[in-house]
Copies of this chain bind each other. A is one copy, B any other.
Amino acid sequence: MSTLRAINPATNEAFGAIFAEPDAAAIAAACAAAAAAFDGYRETSLEARATFLETIADEIEALGEPLIATLLAETGLPRGRLEGERGRTTGQLRLFAQVVRRGDWIGARIDPALPERKPLPRADLRQRFIPLGPVVVFGASNFPLAFSTAGGDTASALAAGCPVIVKGHPAHPQAGELVGGAIRAAVAKCGLPAGVFALLTGQSHELGGALVRDPRVKAVGFTGSRAGGMALVKIAAERPEPIPVYAEMSSINPVILFPGALAARAEALGTAFVGSLTMGAGQFCTNPGLVFALDGPDLDTFVASARQALTGAPPQVMLTPGIHQAYETGVAKLTGLDGVKPLGRGAGPGAANQGCAALFEVDAATFLATPALSHEVFGASSVVVRAPDLETLKTVLEGLEGQLTATLHLEAADAELARGLLPVLERKAGRILANGWPTGVEVSSAMVHGGPFPATSDGKSTSVGTRAIERFLRPVCYQDLPDTLLPPALQAANPLGVARAIDGVLGG
């Protein structure tokens, strides 16, 4: 039987507990328990479900220092980042608790009967959202807390009323198990059936494939590579009953420097850009991998400033030996492309698996002729594209694939230029930001962390923010059902006190 152990990327040493790859019986048992728990869990009261999410957050906090210490060794990420990510993870769970309590996600709609209507009467029609069923969540390597075992997909699926089976990421198996234990403790404390949550940690494609193929599983959440995401999409589509896969996969997050902004602050922009590029060794889905600007002396100033900042950027341990190797391969590939000018690398490397940031420059014609320049290199790698004029810039942007983000740096004088590009960017990206950097994703009501393919496999959804709950819901209509058989949200007395649209008008 295949086994795995954590590897400390800073030392390449395996350490800690040995994890046996879950076998077919374990997979089937988790799916059966999730299916058995579904009908009960999905009808827990709003208060009970919200309390469950808050209890998970409490239990994660109660793990204390051992969780952080384990993550320090498993991921190579610094303490400040990990503590911040823990806060984001528990905050996310508590935010979804608020969402559950508010009950807007139920989407209650009532069209009262019109018995006297001519030529035909109208029946009484009532609609609510119900959860899809058991959800399989694939933990991500780069956010071992916020996008992993108890991360955004798990929080939003549990909030929707779906049991969750996490395919634990092999890069942080012990931290995953700690967090999984916290969720199991919350399940027990809240008196929920054990099938509401399961964690199966492993590294084989067979494990993930078997989970996605299981007929009891009704949706999948994934954050990772394009190849990995598309493999799951294919498996899900080929099931006798196809199911949705929400895969967040690949984005290079174009940044556009408008002339006014470059004229006003090219040097500061160069420094700040490298700060965003190298944050967390560039291991963010929103890492700025492309910079577009009109050619000219202000852009030269930006490039010079970025090169200068790059020199001072320290090497950072990457998450896994495999990620580090893929990063170096990607950078080497860019370095060897015709027309691509390397602008330099960050300092180092000093030790095992350290990534040194890489910056390149091309002209727009080369960019248009070289599809490889649009492929994500996961890590701190970026390409500055010099465009001769606005028309060319627009053409280049039109040719981009879907993105999680698009960033504008602009001054008031750039507004008209920006206005001309916004329709293109809206069609390409899930989030458009001005005078900031795409790294750092707020967990809130208005956030969109999603975007057209290949940024995600479903550009109509978001994996961060409260709208993420909608991925795991579907509407059901009840026609002329006796009040006693209606779900509470739709009963005449509205015992849940949720917002309801009457004939299409909220609170009407």
Q: Residues of A with Cβ closer than 8 Å to B?
A: 39, 43, 84, 98-99, 102, 104, 109-111, 119-120, 122-123, 125-127, 130, 132-133, 233, 237, 241-242, 244, 401-402, 408, 410, 412, 415, 418-419, 422-423, 426-427, 429-436, 440, 442, 444-448, 450, 452-454, 457-460, 462, 465-467, 473-482, 484-485, 499, 501, 503-506
Shortest Cβ gap from A453 to chain B (Å): 5
Q: Specify which of B123, B436, B444 is in contact with A433 (CB 8 Å cutoff).
A: B123
* Inter-chain contact A476/B241, CB cutoff 8 Å: no
Given that A479-B436, A499-B506 are contacting pairs, would A244 and B446 also be in contact in the complex, using a CB cutoff of 8 Å? no
In the complex, the count of this chain's copies comes to 2
Residues on B with C-beta less than 8 A from A84 are 119
Residues on B with C-beta less than 8 A from A419 are 485
Residues on B with C-beta less than 8 A from A434 are 479-482, 485
A-B pairs with beta carbons under 8 Å apart, 7 shown:
A39-B427, A110-B446, A111-B442, A127-B446, A241-B402, A447-B477, A448-B476
Other A-B pairs beyond A39-B423, A434-B479, A434-B485, 6, CB < 8 Å:
A122-B444, A127-B467, A132-B459, A241-B452, A422-B485, A433-B478
* Inter-chain contact B436/A123, CB cutoff 8 Å: yes
In Å, the complex CA distance between A124 and B437 comes to 13
| A423 to B, closest residue via Cβ | B39
| A422 to B, closest residue via Cβ | B485
Residues on B with C-beta less than 8 A from A430 are 474-477
Shortest Cβ gap from A402 to chain B (Å): 7
Residues on B with C-beta less than 8 A from A43 are 423
Shortest Cβ gap from A239 to chain B (Å): 9
* Inter-chain contact A125/B442, CB cutoff 8 Å: yes
* Inter-chain contact A127/B480, CB cutoff 8 Å: no
Residues on B with C-beta less than 8 A from A412 are 482
Residues on B with C-beta less than 8 A from A445 are 109, 111, 125, 127, 501, 503-504
* Inter-chain contact A448/B433, CB cutoff 8 Å: no
Residues on B with C-beta less than 8 A from A98 are 504
In Å, the complex CA distance between A36 and B429 comes to 19
Given that A99-B504, A111-B444 are contacting pairs, would A429 and B120 also be in contact in the complex, using a CB cutoff of 8 Å? no
* Inter-chain contact A480/B436, CB cutoff 8 Å: yes
In Å, the complex CA distance between A138 and B503 comes to 29
Given that A244-B460, A444-B122 are contacting pairs, would A415 and B484 also be in contact in the complex, using a CB cutoff of 8 Å? yes
Residues on B with C-beta less than 8 A from A506 are 104, 499, 506
Shortest Cβ gap from A258 to chain B (Å): 11
Shortest Cβ gap from A87 to chain B (Å): 8
Q: Specify which of B122, B415, B448 is in contact with A477 (CB 8 Å cutoff).
A: B448
